[in-house]
Chain A
């Protein structure tokens, strides 16, 4: 039984460097960037590439400092419009900033996680519509937090039939 446990440790955790952020969010290789924000949001950045999820199907890369400096004020300005109470209602507390975010090998702008109250944002995804992307991801959290008040059919009908 102990041998099995040792093997489990080797395979499951060999690549993870344990730290307090991983303890809380189950995302390795992050560092805190900005914690004391009026609306309670806590911003973290990838200090190394990381992989999470079932069979490590979500991956994102370390952020270049320059890219972060350029984008952070933009992100903050957009997320500051949501106040503490609203963010609490939609279960958003942590913003993870990284680049080249992939889920199952598909490049994506952001991944919201209701349980962990986290939104992972790819700072390099679609630079032209980046601000819209932020609110798009926030809307996913609104939707996921209150699925009972959304009429999926009516919502889908807003799209073109071939969509």
Chain B
């Protein structure tokens, strides 16, 4: 006859501890691996947009980003931006230049798309439309969520590239053309891949698509 041996209190505690450790490890492993876990999901149907003609929707790995465009501030630049969006030119564009918790840059149509990324030339690409004039506004505050057109050293060299700020940057006031403001989904952008040492990201994240709200209907 087999004699049953009862577990001691110490053994029971150790057993429970091991179970808890296993559960915790799984939870942490999942949480760490899934960088999008704590990003709020956006439901377009629940948002009432006041100006539907000037809303752009970007899809990135961690969710949706909604940008209100500002044609009153920068009519030509917004028109150009909307043209590229309507054409689907930004779909698959790389966030190849990222300053952690500060700024993301994308929109190189020639060398910065998932289909044709050229690590040596990304950032120097041009659209087929050529540069446009800067539309500087000396009163616009470049706060977190502001979207601006990228330019070269000189003004009036803006083309297709744009940046989105993840924090307030007062220094940019009067330096760049503002084209919009992220009104929902900035969290999703903070999860875009960055590098600690450089602005340039090897194997960058890509935006899935960028569309106008009217293209959704």
Contact = CB atoms under 8 A, between A and B. Distances in A.
Chain B interface, DSSP helix/strand/loop, else mixed:
loop
B99 A32 contact: no
A9 B198 contact: yes
B11 interface: no
B171 A40 contact: no
Contacts of A24: 171-172, 175
Interface in B161-214: 169-175, 195, 197-200, 202
Contact of B103 (A5, A9, A20): A20
Interface string A110-133: 000001100000000000000000
Interface in B119-159: 119-120, 153-154
B154 to A, nearest CB: 7
A81 interface: no
A13 B172 CA distance: 23
Nearest to B201: A9
Contacts of A40: 174
A12 to B, nearest CB: 8
B170 A35 contact: yes
Contacts of A2: 119, 202
Given A18-B100, A35-B170, A42-B171, A116 B153 contact: yes
Given A5-B119, A35-B170, A35-B171, A23 B99 contact: yes
Interface residues of B, number: 21
B172 A20 contact: yes
Q: How large is the interface on A (under 10, 10 to 19, 20 to 34, 35 or more residues)?
A: 20 to 34
B25 interface: no
A122 B113 CA distance: 43
16 contacts: A1-B119, A9-B200, A9-B202, A16-B198, A18-B100, A18-B199, A19-B99, A20-B103, A20-B169, A20-B171, A23-B99, A32-B170, A35-B171, A35-B173, A115-B153, A116-B153
Contacts of A4: 120
A21 interface: yes
Nearest to B174: A40
Contact of B171 (A6, A12, A18, A32): A32
Contacts of B120: 1, 4-5
A159 interface: no
A13 B199 CA distance: 8
Interface string A21-58: 11110000000100100001010000000000000000
A14 interface: yes
